Copies of this chain bind each other. A is one copy, B any other.
């Protein structure tokens, strides 16, 4: 145990995800001893962040305005919506530069064990966006785990309507990975989704 405020800082840092006691201690001493680390800057951001950040009224992505930069961008196609669990997923997909449509952030996935059902997610808001017929394709991009799969299956059934194409991201071996290290479920999916080689 350290004296007073040093221990308080270690305790607060230790409450953050993925930071154990050893890391918290190392970070606290770094903050304490590194002149170039701007403690005031981090403190100011912490004071402001919850006030300044809201969620986009259309898609649920993080935003500092009523709607997010993606929903406001006139170059994005309003005909395609990619459904994801979290705002983090939006950033991950944006990084691929593969997708030029809009997003819909559900705010999580169906998980009976955590007491999260369809009504706890932004599914009603998704249905409202589909009502006027502008959207012709929905890409379901939930996480490839139990909760994500359950959510995808639920949505696939809900979204059956005339003039709407619904697709899901491909499952398979990660690029750059070793086949021998792939788990059996991933490998099974890779077999299931195998593609014909064209000559």
Q: Which A residues lie at the B interface, using CB under 8 A?
A: 1-6, 8-9, 12-13, 15-19, 23, 25-27, 29-32, 37-50, 52-53, 62-64, 68-69, 86-88, 91, 94
**Bound-complex Cα distance A35 to B52 (A):** 15
Q: State how many angstroms separate the Cβ of A64 from the closest Cβ of chain B.
A: 5
Interfacial chain B residues near A19, Cβ < 8 Å: 27
User: Do A49 and B45 touch (CB < 8 A)?
Assistant: no
Q: State how many angstroms separate the Cβ of A174 from the closest Cβ of chain B.
A: 16
Q: A2, A12, A13, A32: which has the most chain B beta carbons within 10 Å?
A: A2
**Bound-complex Cα distance A152 to B6 (A):** 28
Q: A13, A38, A40, A47: which has the most chain B beta carbons within 10 Å?
A: A47
